[in-house]
Amino acid sequence: MPAESRSVNLIDLESIDLINSPSVKIYQESRLLNSYPEWSQIEEWLREMGIKKFVTLHQIGKTHEGRNILLLQIGENNGDKPEIFIDGALHAREWISVVTVLNIADRLIRAYEAKDDDYYELSHNIVWYVIPVVNVDGYVYSHTTERLWRKNRRLPPHRSNCYGVDLNRNWNISWSGYGSENYACSNIYHGPEPNSEPEVKAIISYLEKRKAHLKAYLSFHSYGQLIIYPYSYDIKKEPRNIEQLKKVSKNLSKETDGRYANGKASETLCTSTDWAAHHLKIPYTFTIELRDTGFYGFLLPSRYITPTVQESLKIIKVLSRTIIDENNIISE
């Protein structure tokens, strides 16, 4: 990892002059990429990246509590390149997904700038759309109030005092089916109707605009160390390109030295990717369940961030090169 990304000790950030100094900018970036950052730090980093010539920051929606849903675009979508969409934190408590997606974005941006970096081919020949935190309200709440909060922060329905909807049960594919609940206090409450939540609506709207060019959608979650392909809501239903999905998922698993199992789930684990595969026919849709396998669960210590990121970058590299080869792209 570059020197700027090493962990450093906490320092006093109250002085405005100090905050604006280069050394503190390096500190903030290091802290962001090697620990579990708060939303304010993430938002600041995204805005700093958005200033770069080849990066665009999009506000694609607002949450129930009025926070921005931010998407980072890396590369120009002029229509002649394949595109990949990745997101993290549909579930608020899955902090490792956030810092993993941030590190992927950082790696691609650095590669684009360096031009001779190992990941330059990926950043130059593919347009990337990155949402580090889909469930912003829930993520903030998990930092300030309840660490294991899962849902968003939708106001309670009539005659209930229970907040939130499980964003991964709200998609209009097998909605209200097995693996979800109609009870608002449940952690897997599917919401009042399909696609009711602003976070889900924002992703759907953006994906539909780019569907002609999107070749992959990766949704990062935790935990389990799994690479899951569609369809999860029906074990008997399979995408048309199932054999290719099996082959690629096996290659992705192999790249992690078998630490991540690959296969199909049938417990409604990944309905955002199910929706993308079914409605938009995006060829490669995977849910990546990150570390670990259950010892720490959602409370994964920060010392495991680096190996988790390294594994995820390997997955990204293999999938990207598969797409580059399939689209007959010749690197410059």
Digit-by-digit pLDDT tens for the chain (332 residues) are: 333 332 222 223 333 333 343 433 443 455 678 999 999 999 999 999 999 999 999 999 999 999 999 999 999 988 889 999 999 999 999 999 999 999 999 999 999 999 877 899 999 999 999 999 999 999 999 999 999 999 999 999 988 999 999 999 999 987 877 778 899 999 999 999 999 999 999 999 999 999 999 999 999 999 999 999 999 877 778 899 999 999 999 999 999 999 999 988 765 455 899 999 999 999 999 999 999 999 999 999 999 999 999 999 999 999 999 999 999 876 65
pTM above 0.75, yes or no: yes
Q: Tell whether 319 is covered by a domain.
A: yes
- Residue 93 lies inside a defined structural domain of this protein: yes
Domain range for 270 is 37-326
**CATH code of the domain covering residue 194:** 3.40.630.10
Decide if 313 is inside a domain: yes
Please indicate, yes or no, if residue 249 is contained in any of the structural domains. Answer: yes
Domain presence at residue 331: no
Number of neighbours of residue 196 by Cβ within 10 angstroms: 15
CA distance 318 to 251: 8
199 is catalytic: no
Q: Is 9 a domain residue?
A: no
CA–CA separation, 47 vs 233, rounded Å? 37
Catalytic option among 113, 289, 326, 332: 289
The total domain count for the chain is 1
Q: Write out the DSSP string of 209-274.
A: HHTTTEEEEEEEEESS-EEEES-SS-TT---TTHHHHHHHHHHHHHHTTTSSEEEE--SS--HHHH
Phi, psi of 271, deg, nearest 5: -75, -20
Tokens read off for 52: 């770069």
Asked, for residue 318, whether it belongs to a domain, the answer is yes
Locus of tokens 């396998």 = 293
What's the farthest any 2 CA atoms get from each other in the chain? 61
In-domain check, residue 307 = yes
